[in-house]
Amino acid sequence: MKWANSIGRFYLYSNLHIGLCALFFCLEYSGFGNQKVDYSYFFFIGTSTVALYLLHRSIGLAKVKAAQSIDSRYLAINKVIPYYPYLGILFGGLSTYFLFQTGLQILPTLLVPLILSVLYVIPFLPNGRRLRDISLIKIFVIALTWTWFSMWYLVGKIEGTLLGLITVEHFLFILGITLPFDMRDMSIDRNDGVLTLATLLGKAKSLRLTNILLILSCSLTLVIVFFYSLSTLPLMFYSILYLALLWFLNVHISFKRDFYFTGVLDGIILLKGAIGWLFVI
């Protein structure tokens, strides 16, 4: 089954997976728009996410060379790294194409999350530090940018109350799904001198906060579907997904295996978005 492992490793660490997660996360409530969905914007988000994460991983690997010889995650990424230049050209070109398909007029309204996304990755501060290396702000920057990109399509298409509920729900969900990644990276962040919410609170309190954030997100999701969707079928799918996620985080997760994070937790973002895209109308 080496070929299956190789395909899975390439899918995860070429960043195709996180690109699909971003695409479907933004698509989740697009059915509320009551009009034909223009997919160019969502393909722009998906392809540009792949391109950005290629750059992010390349720079990140250069900063943590000491850990690469002992951490299975870095060993797996290093096997895919030779393809990064070609993937960067491909997805950089695709994201540019879909941006022009969507229209350059979208750029002013996306300027804040675009700048934050680039500064999150590029070392622009003294000593090669990035926005993500500033203490305590990392997961809040991620939650803000993902929420902004996901909500952009819905602005002007749905009523203000629904827009507000979805905005808060998405922000809480991304905070809740991102905090375990900070818990995984606690030793690396300590070595780099970066104070994160997880290193501040410790694993036990961080896990409790994760549970609270995801329960609040789940509650808002169910409220949105119950009161605003023409179909109540998503109530069952969302309930199962959140229960499985909470069980996984509290019972089964191993902080030593990156597959549980890059594969499963990121995969929850994809599944959540797919449920909404397929069933919320």
Q: How far is Cα 101 from Cα 39, in angstroms, rounded to an integer?
A: 10
- Number of C-beta neighbours around residue 50 at 10 A: 24
| pLDDT score for 64 | 62
Q: How far is Cα 100 from Cα 40, in angstroms, rounded to an integer?
A: 9
| pLDDT score for 10 | 92
Q: How far is Cα 74 from Cα 228, in angstroms, rounded to an integer?
A: 44
Q: How far is Cα 130 from Cα 280, in angstroms, rounded to an integer?
A: 38
| pLDDT score for 72 | 63
Q: How far is Cα 259 from Cα 263, in angstroms, rounded to an integer?
A: 5
| pLDDT score for 187 | 84
Structure pTM? 0.93
| pLDDT score for 27 | 96
Q: Angle at which helices 138-152 and 16-27 pack, to 10 degrees?
A: 60
Tell me which residues of the chain have a pLDDT lower than 70.
1, 33-34, 63-73, 254-256
| pLDDT score for 192 | 80
| pLDDT score for 108 | 96
Phi, psi of 129 (to 5 degrees): -85, 150
| pLDDT score for 185 | 87
Bridge partners of residue 125, in order along the sequence: 129
**pLDDT tens by residue, 221-276:** 999 999 998 888 899 999 999 999 999 999 877 666 777 888 899 999 999 999 99
Contact 273, 19 (CB under 8 A): no
Contact 88, 51 (CB under 8 A): yes
| pLDDT score for 281 | 74
